[in-house]
Structure 1
Amino acid sequence: MKRPSIGVEEELLLVSATGEPLPRSKAVVADVQDLDIALELTRAMVEINSPVCDTAGELRGCLTEMRGKLAQAAAEEGAHLLAIAVPPHGKAAQPITNKPRYRELANQWGLLAREQSVCGCHVHVDVHDKETAVRVSNHLRPWLPTLLALTANSPIYLDQDTGFSSWRWLMTTRWPCAGPPPYFESLEHYDALVAAHLAAGTLIDEQMVYWDIRPSSHLPTVEVRVSDIPLTVDETVLLATLVRALVMTALEDGSQGPTLEPEVLRAAYWLAARDGITGNGLDVRSAEPMPMIDVIKRLREHVEPALQELGDSDVIDDTLQRVLATGNGAVRQRKAFREGANLIALTEVKP
């Protein structure tokens, strides 16, 4: 079985001491020129780009170092760096980063762009070519709601409990060409759908394909974009390893992937975004409702051969059991909010 390399993009928030988004990304990024850190759409966000990694341990080491250095740079600029998917306090609309593409997004999409201080985690897995990436997308569609539930980390938005575990996912799906991807009959089918969006003006370029899984527009990878930014590095590594194992499992299957009833997939997404790991989910292949924890266990069983090949079974099981026992970011945030605890202290990345 092929062992593809992986890379991760982590989007993080910059906030003031009171938890309000702080537009200092340009100064923070300038302070860490030895790392691959990028500006994002709004000026209260920054993005870590990990190097290409071959093992879970290598990825963990890189992300730990990069988060720590970025947190130190943020502190030097009077900001706190949060591993949290939406602003816990402050106002929805934020200043746009002064780059031509971002200005164009703000011009065309207005408040939707200015309210986009939302932080996800994107996992890239090496594949042979774009045609393979499209086929892999079909295979991973049934598991995208499960990955969303596992990593949900945005229940509190602007001083209120939203009632959802992943409010970020609800916000991102307001964009055109976002959310669950369609089933692709071929690479030509994918290209035709993107071309239709471009011709209609709902996209300005292929980078605006915001489906929860997509062929990367600039790398030889398939990119899984469904997840909130996880609270901890261990949870990001768990996500990335499960995604890599899913891709490996898909590559072993020569078919174009399973078709799904779109409304069942939609229902599974909605349950995952609302309840995370604490409620019911759906096995979208059978439309069978069951506790989300059981759906996660089915995902784990599905990728067992790939995890054995990677040698990651024990490490992944340790992290997975800990998350299911103590809660993911959404569970821990909601508990802290209910008890009047400081959300910044809970979610801040330490230098």
Structure 2
Amino acid sequence: MRTLGVEEEFLIVDPRNGSPLPIAGEILHLHDLSRSAEDPPSYPMLAAELQQEQLEVITGPHSRLSGLAAEIRAGRSYADALARKAGARISALATSPLPVTPRHTRNDRYDALLEKFALTAREQLTCGYHVHVSVGSDEEGVAILDRIRSWLPPLIALSSNSPFWNGTDTGYSSFRTQAWNRWSTAGPTDVFGSADAYHSFVERLSGTGVVASPDFDARLSARHPTVEIRVSDVCLDVRDATLIAALVRALVETASREWEAGQPPDNVATAILRQGVWLASRFGIEGNLLHPVAHKPDTAGNVVAALYDHVRDSLDQTGDAAYVEASLQRILDQGTGATRQRQSYERNNSLADVVAHATGVTHEEADHRDPRGEQLLAKSGTTSRRSDLVTLSG
């Protein structure tokens, strides 16, 4: 079974008014104090990001989905406990609902980014969700990247959690996607065809003098034997984060099987894929998406069902099919993080309340538990029988 791990980026917020606080350095100092220099590296790990108003929490690799979900919860709780000591909270918001002027993290790398990319970097306070899945080689990894391209926009739609930007409802479900795509290498890629072609392309990009490493929607990890899928917003709900991770692993496994069977990748034009990204960013699951096979507009329900059907055999192998199907149906019925943020705003017309509600959901402080989902998650990885849940609809 392929291992998977995730990186979650969070906003650091003031619990009194919801405003982002630039205190990542203070939280990381508390993190360092909590762990002895002699201690071996352990998870969850915390890391700085571009802006001081955000914090990254990194899990270790897991084989079972239930173990990953448990560490996601533990990482959120640990980071929040440190933030509380500094008078703040950790909130799973992919953009800040309230206006903010970010303060960047001071080091050589980020100083250079600010100098080169100017306003794009200064305004880039966005929180993403990156999923790493193990691969056997760069050749396999690139074959996977070539075969999952069309299936990534639905992940944007399902994880959409950034409707607000600087005090305004943007009209987008994932405005983070719009802000992130201002970076010069962000977005979908062409079919590479081989690991040599991939590495050659990355080298040529670096040779332009603009970027040192690419910000592709999906790429080979520079540090781990994994592919890294980077399209999703940080998920408001732990259940959604667990779902996205399960779908990514299943997409990776499905693509690897296609490669081993000699099935060529869909060579759809990257410009078409960008339209799929835009639709997913704009509407989430509340409008039409681009069908990953037909590349024509279709209902979100049909696209989500197509995604599930595409990876169903891989989900059966890992025992995650029942959990994924129930989770997809829940999102189709109840909406995404973006939906819940807007619903929170509509109750009191207060962006501070949006942040407070989001913080509660992040840490499951209110009545956000899903007993049936927890039961299915506990059973994941233990059975390969096909689930008997209702057919997905939207």
Same fold (TM over 0.5): yes
SS of equivalent to 2:278: helix
Provide the rounded CA distance (Å) in 1 between the counterparts of 2:197 and 2:356.
47
Task: Quote the offset at 1:261 in angstroms.
Answer: 2.8
CA distance in 1, matches of 2:60, 2:271: 37
Measured after TM superposition, the shift of residue 202 of structure 1 is: 1.5
Alpha-carbon offset, residue 14 of structure 1: 0.5
Q: What corresponds to 1:74 in structure 2?
A: 83
Cross-structure match for 1:25: 24
Equivalent residue for 1:262?
270
CA distance in 1, matches of 2:322, 2:333: 16
In the alignment, the residues of structure 2 paired with residue 46 and residue 26 of structure 1 have an alpha-carbon distance, to the nearest angstrom, of 9
List gaps (5 residues or longer) in structure 2.
Answer: 36-43, 366-394
Counterpart of 1:175 (choices 178, 183, 202) is 183
Which of 244, 250, 257 is the matching residue for 1:245?
250
**Residue 99 of structure 1 aligns to which amino acid in structure 2?**
N
1:18-41 Cα distance to aligned partner (Å, 9 max, x none):
222211001112223454100111
Are the aligned partners of 1:139 and 1:258 in contact in 2 as well (CA < 8 Å)? yes
Q: Note if contact 1:149-1:273 (Cα within 8 Å) is conserved in structure 2.
A: yes
Within the alignment, does 1:210 sit opposite 2:215 as a pair? Answer: yes
Residue 288 of structure 2 corresponds to residue 289 of structure 1: no
1:331 corresponds to: 339
How far has the Cα of 1:239 moved from its partner?
0.2
In structure 1, the residue matched to 2:195 is 187
Quote the Cα distance in structure 2 between the aligned partners of 1:251 and 1:299: 16
Match of 1:59 among 47, 64, 68: 68
The answer (yes or no) to whether the contact 1:260–1:284 under 8 Å persists in 2 is no
Matched residues, number: 345
1:288 is displaced (CA, Å) by: 2.6
User: What residue identity is the alignment partner of 1:73?
Assistant: L
Q: Cα distance, 1:138 vs. partner?
A: 1.0
For structure 1, which segment, 284-293 or 49-58, has the greater mean C-alpha deviation from structure 2 after superposition?
284-293
Find out whether 1:307 has 2:315 as its counterpart.
yes
Q: Which one-letter code corresponds to 2:18 in the other structure?
A: G
Partner of 2:376: none
C-alpha separation in 1, matches of 2:180 and 2:199? 22
SS state at 2:51 partner: coil
What is the CA–CA distance in structure 2 between the aligned matches of 1:79 and 1:114, rounded to whole Å? 22
Q: Secondary structure at the match of 1:97?
A: coil
2:125 aligned to which of 107, 117, 121 = 117
Partner letter of residue 17 of structure 2? T
Offset of residue 263 of structure 1 = 3.3
Could you say which residue in structure 1 is the equivalent of 2:92? Answer: 83
Residue 56 of structure 1 contacts residue 241 of structure 1 at CA under 8 Å; is this kept in 2? yes
Instruction: Tell me if structure 2 keeps the 8 A contact 1:185–1:256.
Output: no
1:68, distance to aligned residue in structure 2 (A): 0.8
Counterparts of 1:60 and 1:32, CA distance in 2: 22
Residue 171 of structure 2, aligned match among 159, 163, 173: 163
Deviation (angstroms), 1:256? 4.6
Report what 2:389 is aligned to. none
Paired residues of 2:292 and 2:303 also in contact (CA < 8 A): no
The structure 2 residue matched to 1:106, chosen from 100, 114, 122, is: 114
2:148 aligned with 1:149, yes or no?
no
- Asked whether the equivalents of residues 135 and 256 of structure 1 are also in contact (C-alpha less than 8 Å), the reply is no
- 1:117 is displaced (CA, Å) by 1.2
Percent identity, aligned pairs only?
A: 35
- Paired amino acid for 1:344: V
Contact 2:163–2:174 (CA<8 Å) still a contact in 1?
Answer: yes
Q: Which amino acid in 2 is paired with 1:200? A: T
| Contact map agreement 1:216 1:223 (CA 8 A) in 2 | yes
Distance 1:98 1:266 in 2: 33
Structure 1 counterpart SS, 2:9: strand
Alignment of 1:271 onto 2:269: no
Rounded to whole Å, the distance in 2 between the matches of 1:210 and 1:336 is 32
Q: CA deviation at 1:58?
A: 0.2
Provide structure 1 residue ranges, at least 5 long, that are not aligned to the other structure.
Answer: none
- Report if aligned partners of 2:188, 2:270 keep a CA contact under 8 Å in 1: no
Please point out which of 9, 13, 16 is paired with 1:15: 13
Deviations 1:197-227 (A, max 9, x none): 2111110x22xx1111000111110000000
CA-to-aligned-CA distance 1:65-101 (integer Å, 9 cap, x gap) = 110111111111111211010111122x311112221
CA contact (8 A) 1:149 1:276 kept: yes
Q: What one-letter code is carried by the residue in structure 2 that aligns with 1:82?
A: S
Partner of 2:356: 345
More deviation in 316-325 or 49-58?
Answer: 316-325
| Cα contact 1:121–1:225 (8 A) shared by 2 | yes
Counterpart amino acid of 1:328? T
Is the contact made by 1:121 and 1:230 (CA closer than 8 Å) also made in structure 2? yes
The equivalent position to 2:233 in structure 1, one of 223, 228, 231, is: 228
Q: What is the match of residue 139 of structure 2?
A: 131
Of residues 219, 225, 233 in structure 1, which corresponds to 2:224?
219
Residue number in structure 1 paired with 2:41? none
Task: Note if contact 2:187-2:274 (Cα within 8 Å) is conserved in structure 1.
Answer: no
Residues 287, 299 of structure 2: 8 Å contact kept: yes
- For the pair shown, which has the larger CA radius of gyration, 1 or 2? 2
